[in-house]
Structure 1
Amino acid sequence: MNSEILVNVTPMETRVALVENGVAQEMFIERSQARGIVGNIYQGKVVRVLPGMQAAFVNIGLERAAFIHASDISGTTENVPGIAELVREGQTLLVQVVKDPIGNKGARLTTQFSVPSRYLVYMPGTEHVGVSQRIDGDEERERLKETVSRLHQELEIPQGGFILRTAAEGIGEAELRSDMAYLKRLWAALQEKTRGQKPPYIVYEDLPLFLRVARDMVRADVDKIRIDSRETHARTLEFVRKYNPEVEPVFEYYPGERPIFDLFGVEEELERALSRKVDLKSGGYLIFDQTEAMSTIDVNTGGYVGHRNLEETIFKTNLEAVATIVRQLRLRNLGGIIIIDFIDMADAEHRRQVLRMLEKTLERDHAKTKVTGVSELGLVEMTRKRTRESLEQVLTETCPACGGRGRMKTAQTVCYEIFREIMREERAYDNRSYMVLASQAVVDRLLDEESAAVADLEEFIGKPLKFQVESMYQTDQFDVVLL
């Protein structure tokens, strides 16, 4: 598979796109005024303990208090002690962010720390040595585990475990020794920083996005990493030469006049990823709806009629939809509960093949996913791990006109609301006349289609009605002014 990573840098934000076979698959955006905080370590203060929820709120210096569950303190999901036994209000608590604040929810915290380097993740709270599932071969996995266990003793690293990252495959002892020594020094420095300051304050901050690319995203299947900023390219090479010099040839400065995201079609893909409707090549289409509780995806045949019979048309459309759905999940970074409404398939074998195709395609997704079977109604329930905001949450905001509903009252509905409001005012007050302030669409309807009803209302109340267009009003906004 031909993979490239494109890094677009401006003073305001950094955008990173993972492109596979010429098509954008994943998108990462970090704005200078709103950097993600996953991985950051804070010295916080417990502000509220909630025994009924087995959780506590912790002030880590953000706008909203962060949330920690008892299991994220005890490190187990079985026989979890009561939260009141683990923390108390006013207590100082060292915590790490595992989920960014999303919507109205504060950040999610843990006291089970993990600090990454190029090849390893150091976990001070455990003795476990694990190996990335993406490293194949029992012999290589055992070699890596044995090497790390031996170096752990040689370097006299304090209590703690390690996870060998995918990048560690084939790496020799010298590189692992260097990484482990670095993590030992880093953790000692972090512990020193927790002494003598008043919480809340930050103890450790993860690298900026462009350096996380160099640390985390350089894999064997990545052919090029193109960076369109000379300064950022130079800083990245400085980092790479220090920690991972053998991958330096992968990095390339892009000096072209045409914006790098335009050249590779990423801007167009971004626009499509913000749309509800995604067209399929066959003529079918998908509808994406994202809510706070879950995301839903509806598959439709659209203009695709097939060449054989209806069942075959439905099966082909569902199969084609799978690849597009998985790519859009990654590109949009949809997480949590996801419901996919495939077109109903009568053939049980077709349902099995669609489900198998979905599971197989999801194997390329770096986020953890879990899929249930296809129901008789064609519904698939799945989950995808969510650690940061979706593309829609990062790039858009709730529509001020419809309040996020996606629907607005019709001009006709608003006209009838105006009539009812005038009747309420007439019963309560003694007025000479009324002035209605409304949008252009509503006033036009009042003077045209509803003119007979307006005349009847004027006759009924015995008073004239006046209308004025307010250009800033949305369709469902109006005021009735007493004259």
Structure 2
Amino acid sequence: MISFLQIEERIFLMKKMIANLSSREKRVAVLENDVLRKIEIMPPHQCSTVGNIYLGKVTKVLPGMDAVFIDYGVDKNGFLHRDEIPSFQLTKRDGKAAIGQYVRQGEKLLVQVTRDETGKKGAKLTGLIEFSTDSLVYIHGIDYVGVSKKFKNEHLQKQWRETAVQFKQPNEGLIVRTSMENESETVFLNRLSSLRQLYKNLELKAASLKAPALLYERDNFLEMIISEMSRTGSGELAIDDFEAYQELKKWIQENGKEWILSYETGPKDIFSERNVDGQVEKVMKKIVWLDNGGYLIFEETEAFTVIDVNSGKFTGKVEKEATLFAVNQAAAKEVARQLRLRNISGIILIDFINMEKPQHKLEIIDIVKKEVARDEMRVQVIGFTELGILQVTRKRTSPSLSEILTIPCPVCSGSGKVESAETVAFRLERELLEHRKADDEAVWVEVSKAVADVLLGENESYRPTLEELISKKLFLSFVSGSINTYSIKRFGSIQEIERAFK
């Protein structure tokens, strides 16, 4: 008999996925109870390279950083740390050993991307080549065995560790995932053999190519969909690409999953058809409203992200401390959801509304930890600072959603602010004053209307004074738009400027 709690949990975990793969820009939305939990959007020019394997060439050795730069065929060289080099891992030497003992400039290496390039930083690479399935992870270049901590049976967990150790080769790392728990040893050996063969094929291909070269391109979108489907035994997936539909249908049958798969062929966009577009649009907004009337403000920078929690319209019906705590509780849950949605990574500072009771701070930390446990990225909740700001870090493997979908404003360069009309007008005035001793009789300036209004004063009352100060007649023409700007076009005699001005 299924209890009410079990029914409630099943309802809570009801997962839907909408995959829009038919156009050049790929989009996948993950929903729980029809609430958007994750969105992946990838324009064709920004496809993630995480998981791709290359034959790279060492361009520079950095002894002070225990790292090297690798040319692997893209604009920016990748970064490879000594600890990610197989020769270092397999010798198991002292961590103080110099990187020059393991790699040299000009050497060719097999490398795999673990983090896409972001901003001015090149991609992060590893020489420990990894292939994974939903039940087994194979890593070449490291001596390691790991077994999922989520096994329900401790005896089986120990048994699988022993099995992995028994069949593993010295230069291999194996991670046994939860879905292997009730599989047979034959299934394990078949999958291990298949992954080994993948690596051997990779080495054969590398031997016939010159560096840099792409050896293996990972289908990140299809893998992301399969990874999401693996996390729950059942759910619904609607997809508009027939080839991907066929592959996923085959995967569902082979793995005994209870996912309901549908191929959408209608003329309407699948995101619009499933009412997802509205939720996606909200993801890019700076302000996020909470159900209780409070709101969050997101400020993303290259160094870190700041999230400010505000009580907004929420006044509550109890004492002040309880009211503020209620806003912070709702904010803690929404922050965890937004971090995953927006793919915000790195250092995250959350400025919760000040709480006087230490117990309330501990409860907020517990809520955040519980909510981020559903995130596939590693999230660390460090704790509150003396100023009451919660410190969180989230592993970065790819650009945030805002980095993918937006570019810095060409006017404000991403600052969100532009110079005022007063600032620009007074700068123009100072520049004109620098030419007051020149012999020219007139000057022509192209200027925005707002700047001209400040420069000349109300009803141009300051024009005579300004022309006397600069010893020149001033001709103004106007540029369209709302940007505060000016350009000195020409100095000359009054007749010359009048002819040019016309």
- Please report the TM-score for the alignment, with normalisation by the length of structure 1: 0.91
Number of equivalenced pairs? 475
SS at the partner of 1:305?
coil
AA at the equivalent of 1:24: L
Partner of 1:470: 479
> 1:259 pairs with 269, 284, 293, which one?
269
Aligned pairs for 1:211-222 (under 5 A) are 211-214=223-226, 217-222=229-234
CA RMSD in angstroms, aligned pairs only:
2.4
Matched residue type, 1:60: Y
1:439 equivalent in alignment to 2:455: no
1:284-335 CA-partner distances (Å, limit 9, x unpaired) = 1111011111111010111211112222221111111011100000000000
The 5 Å alignment of 1:182-261 reads 182-214=194-226, 217-238=229-250, 244-247=254-257, 249-261=259-271
1:79 alignment partner AA = G
State yes or no: 1:400 paired with 2:410: yes
1:481 aligns with 2:489: yes
Q: How high is the TM-score relative to the length of structure 2? A: 0.88
* 1:105 Cα deviation from its structure 2 partner: 0.8
Unaligned runs of 5+ in 1: none
Matched, 1:94 2:106: no
User: Superposition pairs for residues 127-206 of structure 1, below 5 Å?
Assistant: 127-150=143-166, 152=167, 159-206=171-218
The one-letter amino acid of 1:223's match is G
Q: Is the 8 A contact 1:11 1:32 kept in 2?
A: no
Rounded to whole Å, the distance in 1 between the matches of 2:344 and 2:115 is: 14
1:410, 1:475 within 8 Å by CA — same for their partners in 2? no
Change (3 A) 1:450 1:87: farther
Contact persistence 2:436–2:472 (CA under 8 A): no
Do the aligned partners of 1:99 and 1:107 also contact (CA within 8 Å) in 2? Answer: yes
Q: Which of 10, 28, 37 pairs up with 1:16?
A: 28
Give the C-alpha shift of residue 456 in structure 1: 1.8
Helix, strand or coil at the partner of 1:327 = helix
Mapped contact 2:130–2:139 kept (Cα < 8 A): yes
* Residue of structure 2 in register with 1:118 after alignment: 134
Change in CA separation of 1:89 and 1:482 when aligned onto 2, cut-off 3 Å: same
2:235/2:259 contact within 8 Å kept: no
**What per-residue deviation string (whole Å, max 9, x for no partner) do you get for residues 22-51 of structure 1?**
111112223333321111111111111222
Q: Is the 8 A contact 1:240 1:248 kept in 2?
A: yes
Q: Which has the larger radius of gyration?
A: 2
- Mean Cα displacement is larger for which, 435-444 or 372-381? 435-444
The 10-residue stretch of structure 1 (53-62 or 210-219) with the greater mean CA deviation from structure 2? 210-219
Identity of aligned residues (%): 34
Q: 1:144 to 1:3 in 2, by over 3 A?
A: farther
1:315-358 deviation digits (Å, cap 9, x = unpaired): 11111101110000000000011111111111111111111111
Q: Show the counterpart of 1:307.
A: 317
1:409-448 correspondence to structure 2 within 5 Å:
409-427=419-437, 429-446=438-455
Q: Is 1:54–2:66 an aligned residue pair? A: yes
Q: In structure 2, what is the equivalent of residue 32 of structure 1?
A: 44
* 1:393–1:309 CA distance, 2 compared to 1 (3 A): same
Distance in structure 2 (CA, Å) of the matches to 1:293 and 1:136: 40
1:354 match: 364
**Partner Cα separation in structure 2 for residue 444 and residue 217 of structure 1:** 61
State which drifts further: 21-30 or 72-81.
Answer: 72-81
SS of corresponding position for 1:194: helix
Decide which moves more: 134-143 or 48-57: 134-143
**Distance of aligned partners of 1:328 and 1:303 in 2 relative to their CA distance in 1, 3 Å threshold:** same
Structure 2 residue aligned with 1:453 = 462
Which structure 2 residues correspond to residues 294-333 of structure 1 after superposition, within 5 A? 294-333=304-343
Deviating 4+ runs (over 6 angstroms): none
Say if 2:31 and 2:38, in contact at 8 Å, map to a contact too.
yes
1: CA distance, partners of 2:443 / 2:488: 7
| 1:456–1:115 distance in 2 versus 1, CA, 3 Å | same
Kept in 2: contact 1:117–1:215 (CA 8 A): no
**1:444, CA displacement in angstroms?**
4.4
Give the aligned residue type for 1:459: E
Question: Within 1, Cα distance between the matches of 2:339 and 2:141?
Answer: 33
